């Protein structure tokens, strides 16, 4: 049986997240549209936002010891520009919409297919969010990663995404996507200089480190992972989509130990390969 929300919060109270911060309207607008569209399209969906509202209210009460606004979920999908959203509210809504989506998928997918179905849902949300954000920022993507000039274009696009996530409050104080990697992955030690990235990629596999300072959804991501084994990873799915559009499969690994990094950072080791 999956652990309850109260049990997980008792073990992981997230004291650094108890002070909320305002979220930027553009991030909320793009994310609300992406989540709503994919959530509403799921099989077995009844179009009722009440289960999501109930989840969000329970989450806010349990983790943040506050009452939730009575129409929080409805306002998020129907009129996201009507108010200034707080980080804890977005955290709760992300938990509630994705938790409900994962529950709906469990009703229609076989147990063997359910993990991939859940990951596919997160990717579809990331794809829609990327569409909106890329147009808003005017992102210019390289057609491939063959030359140093194309690599610099990639770095510039990722930098624009990071600046947007920081300015909009999804990340609090740090964003870095590094191609200079010195880390351990399971029993493997990885040493990759930035100048090694393109040659390694051309040989079939390269790495990067993604560092995030206090992402707004860290509490709900941890809780969802403990409950169902899958989390939202909003910014990771966004960057994954960027790489996919220029012909590469890129994602965080699941056997990387980040304990050597500062506690205030969420750090992911990424692996990149050409799309087959």
Provide the pLDDT for residue 42. Answer: 95
pLDDT band at 260 (very low <50, low <70, confident <90, very high): low
* pLDDT recorded at residue 12: 86
Please report the pLDDT score of residue 257 as a whole number. Answer: 67
Structure confidence at residue 138 (pLDDT): 97
Instruction: Please report which confidence band the pLDDT of residue 184 belongs to, taking 50, 70 and 90 as the band edges.
Output: confident
pLDDT of residue 264: 75
Give me the torsion for CA of 110, 111, 117, 122, rounded to 10°: 150
Ramachandran angles phi, psi of 240, nearest 5°: -60, -40
Q: Each residue of 28-63: pLDDT tens digit?
A: 999 999 999 999 999 988 889 999 999 999 999 999
Q: Residue 1: pLDDT above 80?
A: no
pLDDT in tens, 65-91: 999 999 999 999 999 998 999 999 999
Residues in the chain: 276
pLDDT in tens, 86-144: 999 999 999 999 999 999 999 989 999 999 999 999 999 999 999 999 999 999 999 99
Pairing verdict, β 181-185 and 265-274: unpaired
pLDDT band at 276 (very low <50, low <70, confident <90, very high): confident
pTM of the model: 0.93
The residues, any chain, with a CB within 8 Å of residue 29's CB and separated by 6 or more, are 80, 81, 132
* Token pair belonging to 29: 């607008």
């Amino acid at each position: 049986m999956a652990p309850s929300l109260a049990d997980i919060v008792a073990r992981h109270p997230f004291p650094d997240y108890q002070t909320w911060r305002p979220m930027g309207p553009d991030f909320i607008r793009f994310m609300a549209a992406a989540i709503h569209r994919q959530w509403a399209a799921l099989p077995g969906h009844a179009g009722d936002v009440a289960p999501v509202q109930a989840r969000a209210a329970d989450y806010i009460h349990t983790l943040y010891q506050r009452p939730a606004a009575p129409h929080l979920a409805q306002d998020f999908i129907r009129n996201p520009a009507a108010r200034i959203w707080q980080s804890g509210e977005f955290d709760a809504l992300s938990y509630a919409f994705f938790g409900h989506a994962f529950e709906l998928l469990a009703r229609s997918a076989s147990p063997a297919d359910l993990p991939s179905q859940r990951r596919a849902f997160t990717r579809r949300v990331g794809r829609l969010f990327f569409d909106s954000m890329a147009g808003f920022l005017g992102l210019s993507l390289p057609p491939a990663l063959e030359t140093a000039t194309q690599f610099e274009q990639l770095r510039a696009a990722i930098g624009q995404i990071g600046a947007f996530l920081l300015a909009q409050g999804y990340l609090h104080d740090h964003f870095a996507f590094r191609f200079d990697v010195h880390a351990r992955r399971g029993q493997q030690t990885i040493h990759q200089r930035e100048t090694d990235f393109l040659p390694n990629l051309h040989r079939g596999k390269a790495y990067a480190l993604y560092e995030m300072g206090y992402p707004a959804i860290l509490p709900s991501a941890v809780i969802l992972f403990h409950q169902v084994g899958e989390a939202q990873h909003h910014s990771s799915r966004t960057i994954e989509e960027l790489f996919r559009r220029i012909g590469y499969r890129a994602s965080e690994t699941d056997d990387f130990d980040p304990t050597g990094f500062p506690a205030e950072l969420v750090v992911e080791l990424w692996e990149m390969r050409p799309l087959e």
